[in-house]
């Protein structure tokens, strides 16, 4: 299956299975057209009208056209794979694949090591129950990022650290005049008690872990907090941060 990218930013990407199938479809259609033409006109024209030569030239033309289209689709496929490789190697691509892996293995298997806290089950009226669709809508709006250690922060430039701090919601006015060491400290401790470990599974973050960031700035493993929110569909509680209980909007 070939990945075809139409946007250099990688925000819009599309699967192009037809790019793989198109040469074969073209070959089938072309050969089918020649066979139909042969079966229809061969009894009428007969060998006396040079039909053998016409048929041979037609087959040669079809083979030439098929070769051109196969060459074209091969070029498109290689270019698409090149674009896909660049996107997959970028930070956005790595987050996407790590999140995909986490959703298939972490959420379905009960979070990291299965050590996810569960609230007490209570009876919940059907009309007040949070639906899976509501949870999915909320999770799609919550940002994620790859966890970085303090050593990795020190390897970044002060300019990159300021950009990262602004993405996390720190106002630019609070970053003026702040030296690099202070920026590293703020980023490493951003999120309070959830900055270094996940409060749901109680495991320390490792470099490259995908972290889900809540509006209250608390951070958790994506597979742990997603499972926590999806369990709200089975228990009588609103969508809220597991640490500070700040509610998340479902609108």
Q: Which domain holds residue 181?
A: 94-233
pLDDT band at 221 (very low <50, low <70, confident <90, very high): very high
Question: Is residue 247 scored above 50 in pLDDT?
Answer: yes
Look up tokens 């997603």; give the residue. Answer: 226
The band of 71, judged by pLDDT with boundaries at 50, 70 and 90, is confident
* Domain identity same for 31 and 106: no
- Domain contains 238: no
> Between β-strands 210-213 and 13-15, what pairing exists: parallel, antiparallel or unpaired?
unpaired
CB contact at 8 A, 244 and 234: no
- Shared domain for 127 and 198, answered yes or no, is yes
In a domain, 250, yes or no: no
Question: Is 242 within the bounds of a domain?
Answer: no
pLDDT over threshold 50, residue 120: no
Strands (E), the chain: 3-5, 13-15, 144-146, 210-213, 219-221
Residue 217 within a domain: yes
Distances (CA, A) of 229 to 56, 107, 113, 221: 67, 11, 18, 12
DSSP state of 99: H
Domain count, the chain: 2
Candidates 237, 250, 196, 247; CA nearest to 220 is 196
User: Taking residues 8-20, what's their average pLDDT?
Assistant: 46
Q: What are the backbone angles phi and psi of residue 110, rounded to the nearest 5°?
A: 90, 30
Residue 51 and residue 153 in one domain: no
Residue 77 lies in a domain: yes
- H helix or E strand, kind and range, residue 98: helix 91-101
Residue 248 belongs to a domain:
no
In a domain, 131, yes or no: yes
Q: Is the pTM of this model over 0.85?
A: no
Same domain, 142 and 193: yes
C-alpha span between 231 and 118 (Å, rounded): 8
**Closest by Cα among 158, 155, 188, 192 to 176:** 158
**128 and 215 in one domain?**
yes
Cα separation of 190 and 153, whole Å?
12
- Do 69 and 10 fall within a single domain? yes
- 12 and 124 share one domain: no
């Amino acid at each position: 299956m070939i990945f075809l990218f139409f946007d250099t930013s990688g925000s819009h990407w599309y699967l192009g299975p037809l790019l793989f199938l198109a040469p074969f479809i073209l070959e089938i259609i072309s050969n089918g057209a020649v066979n139909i033409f042969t079966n229809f006109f061969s009894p009428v024209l007969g060998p006396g009208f040079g039909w053998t030569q016409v048929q041979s030239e037609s087959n040669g033309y079809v083979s030439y056209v098929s070769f051109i289209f196969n060459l074209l689709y091969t070029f498109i496929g290689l270019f698409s794979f090149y674009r896909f490789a660049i996107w997959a190697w970028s930070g956005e691509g790595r987050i996407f694949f790590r999140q995909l892996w986490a959703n298939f293995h972490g959420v379905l298997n009960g979070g990291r090591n299965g050590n996810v806290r569960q609230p007490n089950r209570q009876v919940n009226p059907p009309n007040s129950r949070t639906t899976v669709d509501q949870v999915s809508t909320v999770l799609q709006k919550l940002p994620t990022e790859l966890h970085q250690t303090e050593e990795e922060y020190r390897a970044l430039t002060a300019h990159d650290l300021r950009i990262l701090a602004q993405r996390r919601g720190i106002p630019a006015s609070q970053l003026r005049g702040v030296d690099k060491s202070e920026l590293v400290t703020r980023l490493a401790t951003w999120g309070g008690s959830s900055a270094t470990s996940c409060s749901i599974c109680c495991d320390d973050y490792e470099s490259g872990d995908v972290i889900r960031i809540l509006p209250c700035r608390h951070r958790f493993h994506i597979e742990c907090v997603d499972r926590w929110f999806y369990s709200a569909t089975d228990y009588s509680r609103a969508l809220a941060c597991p640490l500070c209980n700040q509610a998340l909007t479902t609108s």
